[in-house]
Amino acid sequence: MFEPDPAPWPLDHLALRGSDDSAALILKHEVLSWKALRSRVGALAGWLKERVPQPGARVASWAGKGELTCLMPLAAARAGLVHVPVNPLLKRQQVAHILADCGASLLLGNKARLSLLEAGDLPKGCPALEDLAVLAEAQEAEALPPSTADPDALAAILYTSGSTGRPKGVMLSHTNMWLGAVSVAHYLGMAADDVTLAVLPLSFDYGQNQLLSTWYAGGSVVPLDYLTPRDVVKACARHGVTTLAAVPPLWVQLIEQDWPAESVAPMRRLTNSGGALTEDMVRTLRRMFPQARLFPMYGLTEAFRSTYLDPAMVDDHPTSMGRAIPFAEILVVDDKGEVASEGELVHCGPLVAQGYWNDPERTAERFKPAPKASLYGGMAVFSGDTVRRDELGLLHFVGRTDTMIKSAGNRISPQEIEEAAIATGLVSEAVAFGVPDARLGQAIHLVVRGSGDEEALRAALRADLPNFMQPAVVRWVEAIPLNPNGKIDRAALAKDHS
């Protein structure tokens, strides 16, 4: 296990990491040095404290990436408040649910989004203020000094996308987020001269860590709300980006782009989470970025990040999830809670969140006492994902317990079917799931984006997969639906086919 060294600090102390004159935040029309970042975090924290004096009150932000949304994780923590970042892609009703669920005392957002709100959407006593006005007012506020908060105090609530039910608010402490930043900066080997392109939503744990791990290393962040994959390629060239994080659906689009030398040359590392890369995608990324280290990773919001694969092992083990990240203990347990070579992934250690906000029932389902084999003990997150540990100790994703297809008495991993479909070269994306069937229990449905040659696809699948894994239905689509975090929306696809 990786021991916590240094000890966790209040989250806002990340603003103290970089050199005064170097860049910390590269905005559209302004570059904030580390000195300026420290000043503005202190001033925004002072403004927040004046507006919301109650310690532990929830303050939400609903806007695209910019100065306010990037500073809020640190400023709210310094003010003794709990930050609730809301995905800017969510609709009004979803935002209203989150605000009501967390009992928000203040909502900060951009003008266009706030104009969508209707009467009754805001909790009683929760004003909605425009981001630009807030930033202007904050310049006149008395800056707060670095926080002395208990690192175990609640710092943020991150809401899951809700694709598998009503959104859950995952409670994260200063310790969770600080050690998450330390861990990622450590195993990625990040340094003060790194430039991270932040393309993922800051309401997403993986997206927020783009900021926090880079700032822990003293580097600079370029927030980007891209419209097309081409915008990402251009930004990489414009800013000399060294670190790019994405989820598989975005990598599929980025792989299809032409990458000029000026976009590729500065790149030091590529990271993936939010779903597994296929072997073909791994090979393609290694070919397109031969000098960059590729980090396949696995995580869940309830414990931030669990595993990563050492880039030196990627070529020989392209589909592995790797091993535990620093500060994480990963166990594979069977139905009896005993350590096994295949079973449920259980995450133990200080990255484990504090549960779901105001939801003891669902907290008890996922957060349980660690298995007896755990060296950390305490509470653990039972992921609901089935994994296999090989003879080298590397983990391999088998499937989600709630997405495993049960057909004709067989337990089938959707991922295995999806990988086989993509390997044919006839499709670029594939999603498999089970649909209730009176004879089989579940029939396999396969949704694909690609050539449209179903006869060739079925012939290839018959050659590569056993009969019980053959799809009953193949549906060709122009685009695979995504949830607000950019992941494939399996629930929406299954609902459409139910």
Q: Mind giving me the DSSP string for 363-381?
A: HHHHEEEPPTT-SS-SEEE
Q: What is the pLDDT of residue 164?
A: 41
Q: Is residue 53 within 8 Å of 39, Cβ to Cβ?
A: no
In this structure, whether the domain defined by 11-389 belongs to CATH 3.40.350.10 is answered with no
Instruction: Give the residues of the chain that fall short of pLDDT 50.
Output: 162-165
Could you identify the residue written with the tokens 């959407």?
Answer: 121
The Cα–Cα gap between 414 and 288 comes to 28
Q: Is residue 448 within 8 Å of 427, Cβ to Cβ?
A: yes
CA dist list (Å): 115 to 92, 105, 118, 369: 10, 18, 8, 45
Task: Give the tens place of pLDDT for each residue, 320-329.
Answer: 999 999 999 9
Q: Is residue 255 within 8 Å of 248, Cβ to Cβ?
A: no
Q: What is the pLDDT of residue 163?
A: 39
Give the relative orientation of helices 67-78 and 205-216 as an angle to the nearest 10 degrees: 80
Whole-structure pTM value: 0.85
The Cα–Cα gap between 473 and 437 comes to 12
Are 11-389 and 403-497 equal in CATH topology? no
1-7 own/partner pairs: CB under 8 Å, 24+ apart? 1/324, 1/327, 1/329, 1/349, 1/375, 1/376, 2/183, 2/186, 2/325, 2/326, 2/327, 2/328, 4/179, 4/327, 4/350, 6/182, 7/151
What does the domain layout of the chain look like in residue ranges? Answer: 11-389, 403-497
The Cα–Cα gap between 216 and 14 comes to 6
- The Cβ of residue 226 has, within 10 Å, a number of other Cβ atoms equal to 15
Query: What CATH number should be reported for the domain whose range is 403-497?
Result: 3.30.300.30
Task: Give the tens place of pLDDT for each residue, 55-101.
Answer: 999 999 999 999 999 999 999 999 999 999 998 988 888 899 999 99
Query: Could you tell me which residues come within 8 angstroms of residue 340 by beta carbon, excluding any fewer than 6 positions away?
Result: 332, 333, 334
Retrieve residue 478's tokens. 């122009």
The Cα–Cα gap between 214 and 272 comes to 16
Q: CA torsion sign, 102 to 106 to 110 to 114?
A: positive
CA dist list (Å): 176 to 46, 323, 330: 24, 19, 16
CA dist list (Å): 10 to 60, 139, 173, 213, 427: 19, 23, 9, 14, 47
> Tell me, what amino acid is at 25?
L
- Bridge-based pairing state of the strands 195-198 and 169-173: unpaired
Task: Identify the DSSP state of 11.
Answer: G
Query: Could you tell me which residues come within 8 angstroms of residue 13 by beta carbon, excluding any fewer than 6 positions away?
Result: 146, 147, 178
- The Cβ of residue 152 has, within 10 Å, a number of other Cβ atoms equal to 13
What count of Cα atoms within 13 Å lies in the side-chain half-sphere of residue 340?
Answer: 14
